[in-house]
Chain A
Amino acid sequence: MSTISGVFKKLKKEGKKALIPYIMAGDPSLNNTENFILELEEAGADMIELGVPFTDPLADGPTIQRAHERALRQGVTLRKILAFVEGIRQKTKIPLILMTYYNPVFKYGIEAFIKEAVRVGVDGVIVPDLIPDEAKDFIRIAREHGFDTIFLLAPTSTEERIRKVSTASKGFIYYVSITGITGAKLLMDDSMKNTLESIKEIAKRPVAVGFGISNPEEASLAASLADGIIVGSAIVRLIAEGKNIKGFVKAIKEAI
C-alpha cells in the first residue's frame, strides 16, 4: 500500500479526516518552504501538496497565480524542487504530493520525472490539466514505480467521468468543490453533498475536497462530507502577507 493510502486508512480507523495544506514551492524561497513544511506538520497536516511554479497556471485564481510568479522569479523549477525534496527527506516523513501543470513534467520526460520523484521521496502527483484520457503512459509508468496519480473530479462530472477518474486515481481522488479556479468562493449546497456521495459510491477510494476552503467553518463542513480537505489559497495568502500560518492551520485541524 502506498504511503498516502496508508495515511487515509489509519485516519479512517481513528474516525478522522485528512488535512492537506497546499503551498507553492519556492514562495518566497525554497528555504522558507522547508520551514513551512515543518510548521505545517507540527500544526497537524497529514500530508502536504507542493505547488510547482508554471508560467501559465490556467486552473488557478489570482492568489495562487501570484505565488507562481513569485516562485518563478526565484528561479524555482521542477528540477530544483525534486532536489529540495531529497534534502527535506532528512527532516520529515510527511507524505509530499506535487501539484504541477503538465508541461514541466512532459518537458522533463514522464518516465524520468516519475523515477526521480520516487527516488527523492515524493509520494504522488496531481496534474490539473491532465485528464486520464490523455494519461495512459503516465499512469502505466507511475504504477510500475508505485507512484500515486491523483486525478480530479468536478461538480460537472458525469457518472462516466467519475468511473474513468476513479480507475485512474491512486491514493485519493481530488474533488474540486466548485466549477471554478482556486481561491474562488466555496458554495456548499446539496448538490455538492449529492455529487460527493455518488463519487464515494462509485469510486471506493478516499476523496479529498479542495478549492475555496478558507476558514474552520468551511473546513468542518467539507470534511464532514469527505475523507479529507485541501486548503490552498487561504494559506498562500497568509504567506504572501508575511503572516504566520501555523495558528491558522491548527484552527483548521481542530475544526475537522
Chain B
Amino acid sequence: MGKIKNLPDSKGHFNEYGGRFVPETLMPALIELEQAYKKYKKDKEFLAELNSLQKDYIGRPTSLYFARRLTEHLKGAKVYLKREDLCHTGAHKINNAIAQALLAKKMGKTRIIAETGAGQHGVAAATGAALVGLECEIYMGTEDMRRQALNVFRMRLLGAKVTEVTTGSRTLKDAINEALRDWTTNVRNTHYVMGTVFGPHPYPLMVRDFQSIIGKEARQQILKAEGKLPDCLIACVGGGSNSIGLFYAFLTDNMRMIGIEAGGLGIQTGKHAARFAGGSLGVFQGCKSYLLQDDDGNVLTTHSVSAGLDYASIGPEHCYLRDIKKIEYTYATDEEALEAFEVLSNTEGIIPALESAHAIAEALKVAPSMPTDSIIIVNLSGRGDKDVQEVARIKGIEL
C-alpha cells in the first residue's frame, strides 16, 4: 500500500487525476470560489455558523447504530450503520449543500444552481437556498424526474425552480451539462452547488472536506462503542462523496475500505455504471478521471436502478486512492441492491436508499466470512422513501 500524499496539489490534481477542464469563462469563478473557500474554512464565524447548523438543523452527529438483527442474520462480523439517512432531508447530501449555500451567501451570490440525479442533492440544495435566502434552480434529467417524482415535488415545495433536461441520456450527466451551461451564462451572480466530489477544482476538495464530518464522527463513535477501530468500511460510490466522507478520517489507519459502484444489469451487458470495472481514463465535466466511454472518446450511457449512482465518471480522488491500493472498488448489481433493500427493511426496520442498498449488498457478501468479533461500518447514505414507488413499479405492484 502506498503512502498517502496530501492531495490535491494547488491546481487540484490528485496525481494525474482531477484538475480543471472547463470553458475559460468559468476560470475566474473557480478561482474566486477557491479563494473564498480557503478564507472561510478558517473563518471562526463561518465555522461557528456551520457548526450550529450541522447540530440544530441537519441533526448531527448522526448515530452509529449497531445492526443487531442484521448481524445475527449474517452470522459474522458485527455490522454498524452510519445513519446519514437520519440527516434532515434524508441523505448525506445536505452536509455539503448547506455548507455551500452558506459559502455562496458569504460570497455575495444571489442565486444557486445545482444538478441532481436521485433528487437528494436537489432537495438538499433547495433546502440550503431556502435556509439562507437565495434563489435556486435545479437541473434534472426527465428520466430521473420520472424515477424520483417525489423529490421533484419536494424541491418545488421548497421554492426551487426545477428545470427538466431532455438532452442526451436525460440523467445526471446531462443535468450537469445544463447546470454548467447555466453557470457559464450567469456566472457573475450565481454559485454552482456541485453535489459530489467531482468537477473542476476546488469542488472535489471542498465537497470532500464538507462530507468528511461523517468519518470524523464515526471514528469517535466506534472507538467509544467498541474500544477499537473497525476492520472494514463500506460505502456506495456515485460521484463518491458519501464514501470519501466516511473513509477520509480513516485513511491513515489500517483497514479494508470498499467502494461499491453500480453494477446495473451486469458488467458484460454494458448496462451499468461501474467506472473502474468498465471504464478508462478520460476527461469529462471538468476533471480527468475514469470514464465510461467508447473508442472515440464519446461518453457511454449508463444504467443503474439507483439514479444517484447512474453516472459515467467518478471523483478523481477515488482514482488516486485506488492506484495506491488504499481503497478497493467493486460493484453490486441492480438485483443484489434490490435484495439488500428488502433485507435491511425486514431485519432492521430501516428502508435504505437504493444507492445505500448497494453498500448493504456488499456487507451481505463479506460479513458472513468475517470473525464475529470483527467490525464493519456501512455508510447508510440515505433513506429509501424516495425509492419506494420505483421499487413497487419494478416488482409489478400498483400503489
Contact = CB atoms under 8 A, between A and B. Distances in A.
- Summarize A's interface: helix, strand, loop or mixed: loop
Interface in B172-199: 173-174, 177, 180-181, 184-188
Contact of A65 (B26, B167, B185): B167
A77 B294 CA distance: 11
A56 B19 contact: no
A61 B181 contact: yes
B184 A56 contact: no
B29 A156 contact: yes
B43 interface: no
B282 A106 contact: yes
A59 B280 CA distance: 24
A156 B188 CA distance: 8
Interface of A: 54-59, 61, 65, 72, 77-79, 102-108, 128-131, 133-134, 151-158, 161, 165, 176, 178-181, 184
Contact of B297 (A57, A106, A134, A152): A106
Contacts of A154: 23-25
A134 B21 contact: yes
Nearest to A105: B297
Interface size class of B (residues with CB under 8 A): 35 or more
A58 B24 contact: no
Task: With a 10 A CB-CB cut-off, give which of B29, B188, B283, B286 has the most chain A CB atoms.
Answer: B283
Interface string B14-43: 000001111111111100000000000000
Interface of B: 11, 19-29, 167-168, 173-174, 177, 180-181, 184-188, 280-286, 291, 293, 295-299
Given A59-B184, A133-B11, A103 B297 contact: yes
A104 B181 contact: no
A178 B167 CA distance: 23
A55 B28 contact: no
Contact of B27 (A56, A65, A161, A178): A161
A155 B26 CA distance: 10
A26 B281 CA distance: 27
Given A58-B177, A181-B181, A104 B24 contact: no
A181 B21 contact: no
A65 B284 CA distance: 16
Contact of A129 (B22, B185, B298): B22
Contacts of B291: 103
B24 A103 contact: no
A102 B283 contact: yes
A129 B287 CA distance: 10
A156 B28 contact: yes
A129 B21 contact: yes
30 contacts: A56-B284, A58-B23, A58-B181, A59-B181, A61-B181, A77-B298, A103-B282, A103-B284, A103-B298, A103-B299, A104-B296, A107-B282, A107-B295, A107-B296, A107-B297, A108-B297, A128-B23, A129-B21, A134-B20, A152-B23, A152-B25, A154-B24, A154-B25, A156-B25, A157-B27, A157-B28, A176-B25, A180-B185, A181-B184, A184-B185
B293 A103 contact: yes
B6 to A, nearest CB: 21
A153 B24 contact: yes
B295 A179 contact: no
Given A55-B168, A131-B22, A131-B24, 16 more contacts: A56-B299, A58-B177, A59-B23, A72-B298, A102-B283, A103-B299, A104-B297, A128-B23, A129-B22, A129-B283, A152-B24, A154-B24, A165-B24, A178-B185, A179-B25, A179-B184
